[in-house]
Structure formats: C-alpha cells, structure tokens
Structure 1
Amino acid sequence: MKAPITEIFCSVQGEGPYVGNRQVFLRFAGCNLNCPYCDTNVKTSEACKYEETPGSDIFKYVQNLLTPEQVGDLVDPFMNIHSMSLTGGEPLLYADFITELDVVFPLYLESNMTLPDQARKVKDHVAFVSGDVKLTEEFQGEEVQPHIERTIETFRILRKNENRDCFCKVVMTKNTSATDVLDVAGSISNYISCIILQPVTQYELRPDVRTLLELQNELLGEIDTLIIPQTHRMWGCL
C-alpha cells in the first residue's frame, strides 16, 4: 500500500475551531475537484518534502510513493502533537492508505466531502473531520445536484459522535450565494458541531464584512457559526 505524499511537516492548524493547535501535516497529492480559489499545488512530485525541524524551512526529500510504515517513522519524532492533519489535495482518494496508518496521534481529516464511498472506509479511523462545502458557484448545470447530494451523504457518514468531531467550513468569496450556504447548512446541521465561514484569502475575491455578519446572524438561529480567516497566512506560517 503506497500513496503520493507531497509534504510532511509539523506546524499549527491555521483554520477552523482548532486553530492554533500543534499538528503534524500529511499532504496528499491529487484532487477530484478544481476550485478556483485553491492555493495548493496538488500535483504528484517525485519526492516528498519532509521538514525534520519545525519552522526551519529546511527540507529533506523522500522518494515517492510512501508506505504507511514510512509515514509512521517520519512523524514519530514530533512531540506535543494535538493531531495529525490529513490534507491535500483530497485525502479521501487514499482512504485505504489512511486505514493502514499506525501513528500515536488522533487523525484530523480535511476533506471536500464529495466521496461518500471512501468516507465509509475511514469513518472509524478519524477523530476530527474538517469538511469543506463546495457551492453552486463552482459547478455548472446538472453537475450541481449530484454534487450536493454526495456532500450531504459524506457529512452523514462522518457525522459528529462521542468519538469524532465533525464541522463544516465554507470558503466565502464575493460571489458566494447566502441562499446556497443556508440550504446546505439546513441539510447537514444535525451532523456537525459548527459552521466556519472562512473569508477567502485573495483580497480581490473577498466578500464584504456586512454580508458575512448578516449570514452568520441567520445561521446562528440554527447552528453555532464562527467567522475565522486563514490565520497561518497572517504570521507567515504555511
């Protein structure tokens, strides 16, 4: 069992309700979507970048593809870790690989929540789920409804319970439809602990403050809703 890993490093979570917590990051290559605001290179590289000393910006290079055992050996030296972030790209493309990981840290899945069959494989292996919602503005025509249905089903599978937290993150741009956000929120509110409205980092795409506050106010009638930007960008931690 092997998977293409682009980066392994230790840093802090920069998004969502667990912002500031120290994590190991395992970044998978490849994604099943192509979001216009995505700031991550998801292409497979010949080698995985491994930052042995946190924050040093000094990397070793490990030949791809990696086994779960190799990942375990590489992350074992990191100390005082809240959880290991499985990010990408889209980690659920490698669900079988995730089930084979044997690390001491709880697993923190960051997913676009569009692969329900893969989600079923990992649901008993992850302790935290940061689920993105991709809205109508990113799709066209008949693709939209099946996409939304897959998203709702994935949230249902990975829903919060006594062993797992699950929350929803919506990247907000100036084109984001409040109606779309409210519709999706109503469909998944029973499966999540909160919704995060995350203003897009690119300045030219940001929504105005009033729009964000009005949407938060509406959502608070149904579920806990927080406005949290990408904090790691603020202090140069990537």
Structure 2
Amino acid sequence: MKAPVIEIFSSFQGEGLLIGERQIFVRFAGCNLNCNYCDTNDSKSEKSGKLMTPEEVLEEINKILTPDCKTISFTGGEPSLYPEFISEVGRLSDLDIMLETNGTLPNNIDRIERLDMVSLDIKLPEHFDGEFDEQILLNEIKSVSLLMEKSIKVYCKVVILPSTKIESFKEVVEKLSENISNKNNLKVIIQPSSPLSDWKDINFRLFDYSKVVGQYFDVSTIPQIHKILDIE
C-alpha cells in the first residue's frame, strides 16, 4: 500500500480548535476540488507527491517526533482520498490522529478506522470559479453527521474571503443548521483568508459573520496563526 506524500514536517497547528499545539503534519498530494483560495497549490495533483508506504511515513514521523507533540495531522490536498493508508498509520502509531478535510467524500471518511479529531472545511460559492455545486455542501453535511454519530470530535471551519457575500454565507450556515441534529455539539470556526492585508474594514465585517453563525452554533473567529508567525 502506497500513497503520494508531499512532505512530513513538525510545526504548530495554525488553525482551528487545536491552534498552537505542536503536531506532525503529513501532507498528501491530490485533491478532488479546485478551490481558488488554496494556499498549497502544489498539493492539488497526486503526481507532485512521493509514493510512500505507511511504514515509511511512520519512520519519518519518528525521526522528528518531540515530547511536546501528541498528534499526527493528515492534510493535503485531500487526505480522505487515502482512507486505508491513514487507517494503517493509525494502527501503527500511538499518536492521536487528526484529519483536515474538505468533507466531500463521506464514504471515504467513514472508512478511516481511527480518528480523534476532524477539522472539516465548509465550502462557500465564492471558493470556486464558476457555478457552485450544491452537492459539495450536502456531502460535507453528511460527513459532519456521520462523524458526530460515531462520537468523533469534529468542528467546521469556514474560510471567508474579501469577496464573500454575507447572503451566500448565511445561506450555507442555515443549510448546515437545518441538517445537523445536535447543533450544541458542533463548533464553527470562521477563518479570514490570508494575508489579512487584503482586507478592508475586516473588523466590522467579521462581527457580521460571527452574528450569523452564532444564531445556530458555538462560534469563534481565528486567523491562520502560522502565517502570522511566518512558519510552515
């Protein structure tokens, strides 16, 4: 069993609920989407990765493992393209397993045998050039629901761009609310896109986004801290 891996590195988690925690990141090559704000364009094609076995990945992880690191974060690209591979690394390692996913492949996510934390990106119409496929959102909602049913800790992250319209943002959040039964157990992270210098009047606009989400879910607004710290 092999999967295309671009890089394996140790850093601080710069996004979401585990922000500031030391993690080892395994970045896969290959993605099933083409978001216009992607900050890892080199990971979109599976051809850009080096084929590795789970044992080889674990060997590289152990080389850079430090006492302050408790979690492997699988990212990409789209890591859920490789569910059996992630399951095997999870079987071989005692570290917690985190998945950073777009959530559009619920059947694949369901096949990952061990997950301790999932960061799931909710996509907006402004994230794509061209018409927005509503099936993307429906699949993301399905992924959130199945993870919650399995009592796996999951939170949703929504990247907002300077071009994001409050109306389309509200529609997506409302759709998410209508289809998630246990809203009290789901946290939503609003993440303004980097660099923050691209924004005008960002403070006032962020309050508006937060108020929309707060009607339905627990909400926080967190920028990409690793970009501010200028680390990978």
TM-score of Structure 1 vs Structure 2, range by shorter chain: 0.7 to 0.9
Q: TM-score, normalised by structure 1?
A: 0.84
1:168 matched to 2:151? The reply is no
Give secondary structure in 2 for the equivalent of 1:159: helix
Shift of 1:66: 0.4
Q: Deviations over 1:156-208 (max 9, x none)?
A: 1222765x310000001122233234224413473653100000003436773
Q: Secondary structure at the match of 1:15?
A: coil
* Structure 1 residue aligned with 2:85: 97
Identity %: 36
| 1:65 positional shift | 0.9
Q: Do structure 1's residue 66 and structure 2's residue 68 form an aligned pair?
A: no
Higher mean Cα deviation, 132-141 or 35-44? 132-141
2:102 is aligned with 1:112: yes
- The answer to whether the 8 A contact 1:3-1:65 is kept is yes
Cα root mean square deviation, aligned: 2.1
Unmatched 5+ residue regions in structure 1? 48-63
Which residues of structure 2 form unaligned runs of 5+?
Answer: none
Structure-1 separation of matches of 2:20 and 2:31: 26
| Distance 1:160-1:19 versus aligned 2 partners, 3 A rule | farther
Alpha-carbon separation, structure 1, partners of 2:54 and 2:134: 36
Partner of 1:183: 174
Q: What is the SS of the residue equivalent to 2:73? A: strand
List aligned pairs for 1:136-155, cutoff 5 A. 136-139=125-128, 140-141=130-131, 144-155=133-144
Q: Secondary structure at the match of 2:133?
A: helix
In the aligned structure 1, how far is the partner of 2:36 from the partner of 2:47?
22
Structure 1, 126-135 or 198-207: larger mean CA deviation: 198-207
Q: CA deviation at 1:90?
A: 0.2
Higher helix share: 2
Distance 1:232 1:46, change over 3 A: closer
User: In the alignment, which residue of structure 2 is the partner of 1:233?
Assistant: 227
Mapped to 2, the partners of 1:46 and 1:32 lie a distance apart of 14
- Does the CA contact (< 8 Å) of 1:5 and 1:65 recur in 2? yes
Matches within 5 A, 1:20-39: 20-39=20-39
Moved more, 214-223 or 149-158: 214-223
Taking a change above 3 Å as real, the CA distance of residues 147 and 206 of structure 1, as seen in their structure-2 partners, is farther
Check if 1:3 corresponds to 2:18: no
Give the aligned length. Answer: 219
